[in-house]
């Protein structure tokens, strides 16, 4: 006897196990078991991928916030310490820039300019403090967006 399943011909005459013989012996309990096993495997794969993605995001987010904190801290120290070189501020700036978008980059560059001008006495402390506050506001906005979108 020959059975046609979606274009696949299965014959009972062969000595190898066939799909039809498998289906004959498969009961409702066997189908439920197979579906459960396949569902469990799918959930395990999804959970593994999601957890791995979450760990990567947590690492990225941690590095981003640390870079932003270090940049603000270095800008404040640079403006207060007459012996501090601009190299440290630029280093903190470049590290923070690895994690920021264009808007944050623009405000970060303005902070460097204002920190240098403040240190040289070209601008008042009010302008410099406003620049720091503006940069912090932009950093917070970027961090909030990053946290919201897991990016």
pLDDT at residue 24 in the model: 61
> Of 70, 68, 76, nearest to 136 (Cα)?
68
* Three-class secondary structure of residue 1 per DSSP: coil
Which tokens in the block code for residue 9? Answer: 């011909």
Opening angle at CA 51, ends 42 and 38, nearest 5 = 10
pLDDT at residue 88 in the model: 92
Tens-digit pLDDT profile for residues 88-102: 999 999 999 998 888
- The answer to whether 19 and 5 are in contact (CB under 8 A) is yes
pLDDT at residue 48 in the model: 86
Helical pair 125-149 and 102-119, crossing angle rounded to 10 deg? 160
Tens-digit pLDDT profile for residues 10-26: 555 555 666 666 666 66
Q: Kindly state the average pLDDT of the residues 70-98.
A: 91
Is pTM beyond 0.85 here? no
């Amino acid at each position: 006897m020959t059975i046609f399943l979606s274009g696949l011909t299965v014959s009972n005459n062969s000595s190898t196990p066939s799909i039809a013989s498998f289906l004959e012996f498969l009961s409702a309990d066997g189908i439920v078991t197979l579906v459960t096993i396949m569902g469990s495997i799918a959930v395990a794969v999804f959970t593994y991928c999601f957890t791995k993605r979450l760990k990567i995001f947590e690492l990225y987010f941690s590095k981003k916030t640390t870079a932003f904190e270090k940049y603000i801290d270095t800008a404040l120290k640079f403006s207060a310490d007459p012996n501090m070189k601009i190299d440290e501020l630029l280093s903190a700036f470049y590290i923070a820039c690895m994690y920021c978008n264009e808007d944050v980059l623009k405000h970060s560059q303005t902070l460097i300019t204002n920190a240098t001008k403040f240190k040289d006495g070209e601008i008042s402390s009010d302008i410099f403090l406003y620049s720091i506050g503006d940069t912090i506001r932009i950093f917070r906005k970027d961090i909030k967006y990053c946290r919201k979108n897991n990016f």
